[in-house]
Amino acid sequence: MKRETETQIPVTILTGFLGTGKTTLLNRILREDHGLRIAVIENEFGEAGVDNEILLQERQEQIVEMNNGCICCTVRGDLVRILGELKSKRSSGALKFDWVVIETTGLADPAPVAQTFFVDEEVSSDYRLDAIITVVDAKHGPTQLDEHHEAQEQVGFADRILLSKTDLVSRGDVDALQKRLHAINPRAPILPVVFGSVDVAEVLDIHGFRLDTILQVDPAFLEDVTHEHDDDIGSFAYRDAEAFNLERLETFFSLLLQTYGTDLLRYKGVLNIEGKSKRVIFQGVHMLFGADEGKPWASGESRETTMVFIGRSLPRALIEKGLAMCRASVAADPAEVLS
């Protein structure tokens, strides 16, 4: 990819509600032969980050994790600090990168994040906000727009909307959702994306963010922005140094989703499975669940399982008890927990 020489470092904000496919899209961008060296700032709502494992499957990127809160509220100061550190390392030659991609947590309002690039003097001097790219889940998008104001804000501030999982719904449902998205944000083109596959030219170096346009839509954009999350949405992490029995784990998750699937907004993790030489990476949204092989466990490496659950009023104690019964060393039926 060729772009004009500029002194400011261009930035893309990648947003979208929980489980829409942001990390899948980011993986595709990192693996494309576009010639850009990309630094990634990864923000997760949960207390433990697992997206770094998903991103580092094939190539090493400069990735900075922010797991101690939501980027749009509690850790905005961290974002300013990290951007400053990246710029200093780039200037000194310690790091080489041409672009920054910020992947926000699915519960982030993108407005305060974008605001950072205009109200902080050093950030606005060193960086240029190129575009806000929003991924919308065609299957769960209508419900997310109904129930979560963050999903509405993500669409409203988008410079480009990528519609994922269109293969899971009818053509009529896709058309209806596109009309709704266009009504919320008539200025953003809407493009279908399958498993993160999209022309990089459609998401990077598009010069999509226009401050004057945003100020017409939201005159208070540059004023102080406060943001609160729904009280009933929370997250927790589960860690375990013991290996898991795959069959029992699959049984437990199947029953868990049947009972609490509508309240499980997002769940993902890195699993240590008995008899497997590689990590198992799993991800899910509501009732949709999938798993893939990850990187091999290195010789002598601590093989720890890490899972993150984000949802509405989740029964943490029950889930943790069921998972403990899925350990390979335990002869128990995890189905008993949910019976």
Percent of the chain with pLDDT over 90: 26
pLDDT at 232 over 50: yes
Q: Are residues 252 and 202 in the same domain?
A: no
- Domain assignment present for 1: no
Of residues 271 and 35, more confidently modeled: 271
Q: Are residues 41 and 185 in the same domain?
A: yes
- Domain assignment present for 240: yes
**CATH number, position 148:** 3.40.50.300
What's the pLDDT at 155? Answer: 93
- Domain assignment present for 223: no
Tokens 């990528």 -> residue: 162
* Confidence tier at 12 by pLDDT (50, 70, 90): very high
- Domain assignment present for 139: yes
pLDDT at 23 over 90: no
Residue where a domain stops, chosen among 217, 249, 283: 217
Q: Are residues 151 and 281 in the same domain?
A: no
Q: Are residues 247 and 305 in the same domain?
A: yes
Q: Are residues 78 and 175 in the same domain?
A: yes
CA atoms of 15 and 155, how far apart (whole Å): 9
Mean per-residue pLDDT for 190-216?
83
Least confident span in 50-64, 118-132, 278-292: 50-64
Mean per-residue pLDDT for 4-30?
85
**CATH number, position 323:** 3.30.1220.10
User: ∠27-31-34 over CA atoms, to 5°?
Assistant: 125
Q: Are residues 240 and 91 in the same domain?
A: no
Q: Are residues 211 and 239 in the same domain?
A: no
What's the pLDDT at 88? Answer: 92
Q: Report pLDDT digits (tens) over 37-78.
A: 888 888 765 544 555 555 544 444 456 655 444 444 455 677
Query: What is the 3 state secondary structure string of the chain?
Result: CCCCCCCCEEEEEEEECCCCCHHHHHHHHHHCCCCCCEEEEEECCCCCCCHHHHHCCCCCCEEEEECCCCCCCCCHHHHHHHHHHHHHHHHHCCCCCCEEEEECCCCCCHHHHHHHHHHCHHHHHHEEEEEEEEEEECCCHHHHHHHCHHHHHHHHCCCEEEEECHHHCCHHHHHHHHHHHHHHCCCCCEEEEECCECCHHHCCCCCCCCHHHHHHHCCCCCCCCCCCCCCCEEEEEEEECCCECHHHHHHHHHHHHHHHCCCEEEEEEEECECCCCEEEEEEEECCEEEEEEEEECCCCCCCCEEEEEEEECCCHHHHHHHHHCCECCCCCCCHHHHC
Q: Are residues 121 and 256 in the same domain?
A: no
Residue where a domain stops, chosen among 217, 242, 261: 217
Of residues 320 and 65, more confidently modeled: 320
Mean per-residue pLDDT for 172-192?
93
Q: Count how many domains the chain has.
A: 2
CA atoms of 140 and 137, how far apart (whole Å): 6
Strongest mean pLDDT among 106-110, 111-115, 178-182: 178-182
Q: Are residues 140 and 278 in the same domain?
A: no
Q: What is the pTM of this model?
A: 0.71
Q: Report pLDDT digits (tens) over 127-158.
A: 999 999 999 999 999 999 998 888 998 998 89
Percent of the chain with pLDDT over 70: 81
Q: Are residues 80 and 212 in the same domain?
A: yes
Residue where a domain stops, chosen among 158, 184, 217: 217
Q: Are residues 211 and 294 in the same domain?
A: no
Distances (CA, A) of 54 to 23, 49, 215, 304: 8, 10, 37, 15
- Domain assignment present for 226: no
pLDDT at 226 over 70: no
- Domain assignment present for 3: no
Q: Report pLDDT digits (tens) over 73-96.
A: 455 677 888 899 999 999 998 888
Mean per-residue pLDDT for 166-186?
94
Range of the domain at 332: 233-338
- Domain assignment present for 227: no
Indicate the average pLDDT of the chain.
Answer: 81
What's the pLDDT at 16? Answer: 92
What's the pLDDT at 73? Answer: 46
Q: Are residues 42 and 135 in the same domain?
A: yes
- Domain assignment present for 2: no
